[in-house]
Each structure stands twice: as C-alpha cells, then as structure tokens.
Amino acid sequence: MARNAGGSSLMRQEIGQQPAALRATIEALLPRRAEVSALAAGTRAVLFIGRGTSDNAAVYGSYLIQAHAGRLTALAAPSIATTYRARVDLDGVLAVALSQSGRTEEIVETLEWASACGARTLAITNGGESSPLALAASVALCTQAGVERAVPATKTFTTQLAALAVLALALGAPLDPGELRAVPDAVESLLAGPADVAGLERVVGALAKVRGVVVSGRGMAYAAALELAIKLKEACYLHAMGLSYADLLHGPIAVVDAETPAIVVAADSGPTLAGTVDLARRVTEAGARAFGIGGGAALAAVCTTTLAGPALPEWLAPIGLIVPGQLLTEALARRLGINPDSPRGLSKVTQTD
C-alpha cells in the first residue's frame, strides 16, 4: 500500500490537519457575516446545491438553518437545471452551492441557472477565489483547508460544515460565535487522546468481517451519518446504508441482523439523543450489534462498543462527530488491504453529465 515518507496514509495525515484547517477557516469567515447578511437581505428561503460529500454537508446546513435561523431550506436536484433545463421561480431564494474543488461543472452550471432564475448566489468552496464556482457566485466563502491529496474528503468536509455554521449565524441564528471558535480545540482534543484505540480496533475488527452496515443518525447528526456511510462505501467498498433513524424504523431496520450491524451517531445532548439511544437498544435487543459514535454515557450504555464524540453543543457536534468515523474508515481500509488515499474508480474532482 502506498505510503508517504512518514509511513502513514495521506488520509490519516489530513484527518490530523483538521484542527488547523478549522481554525483558519473560522477566523477567515466569521468576519464576513455582515457581507453574507447583506446578500441574503430580502430572501426567505435557502436552496443548497451539491453532490456527494458536499450534499451531505448541505444536509447539516439545512437542519441548522431551519432549526435555528427560521428559514425554509431545500436540497436542489441539479438535473432540473442541467438535464431538464426547467425554469423555476427562485425570487426570494438564497442559492448556496458547495463544491470542495470549485470545479465541478454541474454545480457551477446549476448555480448559474439559479441566478438566472432570480436567486441570490453564494458559494462555499476550498477551490479559492479564482475557482469557477467562486467566480459564478455573488459572494464566495472560501474554506482554508489547504490542498487535500487523499481522494476521500476529510478536512474539506469539516471546513464546509464550519462555513455553514457561519452562514447560519449570518442569517440570524441566535447562537454563540464563541462556541464555533472553540470547535478546533474540541477536534484537537478528540484527535490527541486519550484515544480509544481498543474501541476502534473492536469496531474495525467487526466491520472487517461483514459486507454491509447501516449508519443512522437524526437531526444535526444525520449529516455525519450520511458522510460516514459514503466514506465506508468509497474507501472500504462496504455496502453502507445511511439513513435517518426515523426512516430506518419505517421498514429498513429489517436488514439489521447478526451479519449487518448498525452504527448510530449522536451528539451528547439535544432532542434527538433519546431516540438514538432507543434505536441502539432495539438493535442490540434483536441480537444485532450497535456501534455508537458520540451520544455520551446514555448511548454507550446500550451499544456494543462506542467511540467518544466531541465536547460540543448539538449545533456544532457534527463537525466533530465525523472525526471518529474518518479514523474508523481509514483504519478499516488498511485492515482490508485497500489504499485509503486512492480508492478504485474515484478521482478528486467528479464530473457528471
């Protein structure tokens, strides 16, 4: 397996770079709240445009802005713009396009379409001010993750979440910017230890023996569950299904059994924690394994094994909750003999028709 001079995967190095990337991003973007607020003045709804990992980030933005800024949000279907070429009335809409590279043509085209349909436009990208997406937007919030060399996104995803937290503040969410400034330290503590090496090894060992897993969360944590599922698919070739626990209970929970464990993700507090604990209890009582990420003592008490989450309030917890999932993905890929830096069939910039 390819390694750099230090012997670790690029993905593992970039996981470790997240505190610095988050710190730089938050300090660069928080002062721009007034600019974003001015752009959004007069708008009543937010339309998120993204694919893959960026779409998972948009799910976080959607929950955050609806729950705390009181604005209706929606996730765009880019095909409406690029394939059907439909005209939609987007007057009064703030269109927010997310792309790590800023070079995904479909996302750029969809943002331009939104503008032509009457929307105000904002970009969130790690591609810089000169990227096509940034140039297409009225305002660009450029994250400060630096070059990301591993194909699976890690630091570009968490910095996107930080940018969305800034967006929520700019849209009037009555939340504390000081809590956002504390996120890099919380992630640093999560990475620095004391790491639950034994717990991580238990989960890796279990997942190395199965073909499928269900990953579930709800509310703010749902985005982290979706992102972990896509990471397990792309880097470990695991059949991972990301579902809200509400959707899981509506039928798909039937796939969870002794051969198909569940990973449940939750903040240590908040209105969705009790339901996540109940879901994990139901899984284990049915004879299946439930592996927890976050959720504090309540979730740990009912799970087979739990990986600690971040010491963050619920509105910011997803930025830290994905970190144990990233570590799990990287370690599982190596256990399976897969290079986590360059999974088969993937490239850093994905272009779609």
List the catalytic residues. 348
What one-character-per-residue DSSP string does 278-320 give? HHHHHHHHTT--EEEEE-HHHHHTTSSEEE---S--TTTHHHH
Task: Give the 3-state secondary structure of residue 338.
Answer: coil
Cα separation values, 124 from 78, 128, 252, 324, 332, Å: 16, 9, 34, 24, 30
Q: What phi, psi does 218 have (nearest 5°)?
A: -145, 155
Which residues have C-beta within 8 Å of that of residue 288, sequence separation ≥ 6? 256, 257, 258, 260, 261, 262
Q: For residues 318 and 290, is the Cβ–Cβ distance under 8 A?
A: no
Distance between CA atoms of residues 293 and 264, nearest Å: 6
Distance between CA atoms of residues 332 and 307, nearest Å: 15
Enter the tokens of residue 295: 């959720």
What one-character-per-residue DSSP string does 164-214 give? HHHHHHHTT----HHHHHTHHHHHHHHHHS---HHHHHHHHHHHTT-SEEE
Distance between CA atoms of residues 18 and 349, nearest Å: 20
Which residues have C-beta within 8 Å of that of residue 6, sequence separation ≥ 6? 13
Residue 259: CB atoms within 10 Å = 12
Q: Give 138-144 contacts, CB < 8 A, sequence gap 24+.
A: 138/39, 139/32, 139/35, 139/36, 139/39, 141/29, 141/32, 141/36, 141/166, 141/167, 142/28, 143/21, 143/25, 143/29, 144/21, 144/24, 144/25, 144/28
